[in-house]
Structure 1
Amino acid sequence: MVSPALDFPPFNTLSDEVLADLMPKLILKTFSKDSFIFTKGQPSLGFLLIILTGCAGIVVEGEKDSSNVVGFRYAGDIFW
């Protein structure tokens, strides 16, 4: 395994050769607690996002400046 950080599906099924080719193409970004990765109505980032550590909440705006957490994504989860 080229990177223990990618030791989850579907990456853990790839050969070391394929992973070695993939690694230089990855962009690592860190997000601070309580920051937004993207918001409703924003154009697509154009990337497949993978949570390596921690978790991300899915927040939906409610009425009168309220918001609700409707789900979470955890390490190993992939979204776009």
Structure 2
Amino acid sequence: MALLVNMVRPGKRFGYQEVINSFFSDTGLAHGQGVSPPDKAAFFRARKKLPLEIVSELFEKAVDQAVVMASNAADTT
């Protein structure tokens, strides 16, 4: 879900492969575990298999968490 949200966030747009590679690097998934990022075609195929209900539910949870984090940040300032 983090990867999908990253793709729709405001700011400079990047190609799928660059975002996938960056995500794997930033999360530490690409370091020392012998795991390489999927290519963009594999990402597309996997994404198409996700039911819309799951994506909608995950997005809703991400929004809820963002609201809580923003509220907490506002409370500390």
Output the TM-score relative to the length of structure 1.
0.30
Which of the pair is proportionally richer in strand? Answer: 1
Output the TM-score relative to the length of structure 2.
0.31
Which of the pair is proportionally richer in helix? Answer: 2
